[in-house]
Amino acid sequence: MLAPELLRRFDVHGPRYTSYPTADRFVEAFGPDDYAQALRQRGEGPASVQPLSLYVHIPFCESLCYYCACNKIITRHHSRAASYLDYLGREMDLQVAQLGPDRNVSQLHLGGGSPTFLSDDELAQLMAMLRRSFRLVPGGEYSIEVDPRTVDSARLQAIAALGFNRISFGVQDFDPDVQQAVHRIQPAGQVFALVDEARRIGFESVNIDLIYGLPRQTAESFARTLAQVGRLRPDRIALYAYAHLPERFKPQRRIVPAELPDAGSKLGMLSAAMAAFENDGYVYVGMDHFALPDDPLAVAKRQGRLHRNFQGYSTQPDCDLIALGVSAIGRVGATYSQNAKTLAEWCDLIDQGRLPVARGLALSRDDLTRRAVIMGLMCQGQVLFESIELAWMIDFRSTFAAELEQLQDLEQAGLVQLDDSGIQVTANGWYFVRAVAMVFDRYLQADRHRKQFSKIL
């Protein structure tokens, strides 16, 4: 159990580090032509033989969840999906024209929005387009996010038949009063039945998403949800803190602020969740991810093989990510890129025959060096000075003298250990690994930038 004073002291605002530099540092000066050049270089260089990761963003949802901060389009008009799929196919053609055909893919993730807004036939159409453009290799990780309200047993079987072997259910909370407050009603029995069916069908991994800090949540109600999750026993659990930012996310303006738990109650829920998951035998993978001991994510953590990308922790090797769809973020070589955030702008760029990139970033040598350090901390929980020095031809202690001095406070708090060979994150430090990584974030040195991020716990 973490000490309350540690939770209070280090629950600060900070990035999730699915990338470094973080997406708020992307610039509009990086556009379609820059991304096309990155694709060509990747397609022609030695990296061309390495498998890719694919992310496809499906923005549509039938119903608005008040807590949501995702890029989504609320509509009951399923006819809109047909046009969207047409534009996705055209975007694939534009990317493949620069990258080259039949590139191997070892990871695929469909996110949203609600990917299951698409019908079975539309999902099949999307998978057929992907297989025409790329080669999905045997043994890859092919995952889909599922809104439990949009699927039944037959749909789960259809999803598995398309090649998906990993599935994630958005639960958030089982308490009916909380569900009403966030406008997402889904009975616990429905979720239990779907998880049982997913296991029977043979999905290799079932993930459950939870959120703490939602309106009307109490210590007692959340304890009941945690007990239900323990009985459900998913392979993986993602536990997110709700960040109430109504000035940035309009749906959150429908949440009654007086119904939100206070900071102390939120930390109590987090502490209770950590204790419950530990008692149920889950391994704390990092940040907000937990997994059963025999899950590949937990195994990768033990073996020092964790990786991190825009979808979070992964067992797959660090690889270039091709992003498709409105607002999707990708990484190719030493560049990041993000597609246009509005459907109209995304479609307009594709109609012009241009890659629909609205902004991005070409990483500097300093960015790449710091990314190696931050990802070492986030994934392996350690940084060996010699490995960074050999890879980037620097003297670690002089290059990061100021950062090493800052780490002394974290060392005194028991979050890291420093010696002549490197930096080691402690068992307690894993819960605050974002705070450790932030020390090496050159863009976060001024406090004025930090409030735009959620708190790290």
CATH number assigned to the domain comprising residue 248: 3.80.30.20
- For residue 324, which of 309, 340, 307, 335 has the smallest C-alpha distance? 340
- For residue 343, which of 148, 30, 108, 71 has the smallest C-alpha distance? 71
- 346 in a structural domain: no
- 28 in a structural domain: yes
pLDDT score recorded for residue 193: 97
* Bridge-based pairing state of the strands 60-61 and 73-74: parallel
Q: In whole angstroms, what is the distance from residue 123 CA to residue 88 CA?
A: 12
- Residue 201 and residue 92 share a domain: yes
pLDDT score recorded for residue 307: 84
The whole domain housing 176 covers 16-322
- 386 in a structural domain: yes
pLDDT score recorded for residue 243: 86
- 453 in a structural domain: no
263-312 pLDDT, tens digit each: 889 888 988 998 999 999 999 888 789 999 999 999 988 888 888 888 78
- Residue 64 and residue 8 share a domain: no
Instruction: Please return the burial class of 417, using the count of CB atoms within 10 Å of its CB with bins 0-12, 13-18 and 19+.
Output: middle
Q: How many domains does the chain have?
A: 2
CATH number assigned to the domain comprising residue 401: 1.10.10.920
Instruction: Please return the burial class of 253, using the count of CB atoms within 10 Å of its CB with bins 0-12, 13-18 and 19+.
Output: exposed
pLDDT score recorded for residue 428: 85
Q: In the chain, which residues have pLDDT < 70?
A: 1-4, 7, 11, 445-457
Q: What is residue 160's three-state secondary structure?
A: helix
Instruction: Give the annotated binding-site residues for S-adenosyl-L-methionine.
Output: 55, 67-69, 112, 145, 172, 184, 209, 243, 329
- Residue 10 and residue 46 share a domain: no
- Residue 184 and residue 85 share a domain: yes
Instruction: Give the annotated binding-site residues for [4Fe-4S] cluster.
Output: 61, 65, 68
- Residue 146 and residue 215 share a domain: yes
Instruction: Please return the burial class of 33, using the count of CB atoms within 10 Å of its CB with bins 0-12, 13-18 and 19+.
Output: exposed
- Residue 67 and residue 161 share a domain: yes
Which two three-digit tokens encode residue 121?
A: 């036939």
- 119 in a structural domain: yes
- Residue 45 and residue 2 share a domain: no
pLDDT score recorded for residue 63: 92
9-21 pLDDT, tens digit each: 776 777 888 889 9
Instruction: Give the annotated binding-site residues.
Output: 55, 61, 65, 67-69, 112, 145, 172, 184, 209, 243, 329
Which residues have C-beta within 8 Å of that of residue 269, sequence separation ≥ 6?
212, 213, 217, 219, 222, 261
pLDDT score recorded for residue 36: 97
Q: What is the DSSP letter of 259?
A: G
- Residue 384 and residue 247 share a domain: no
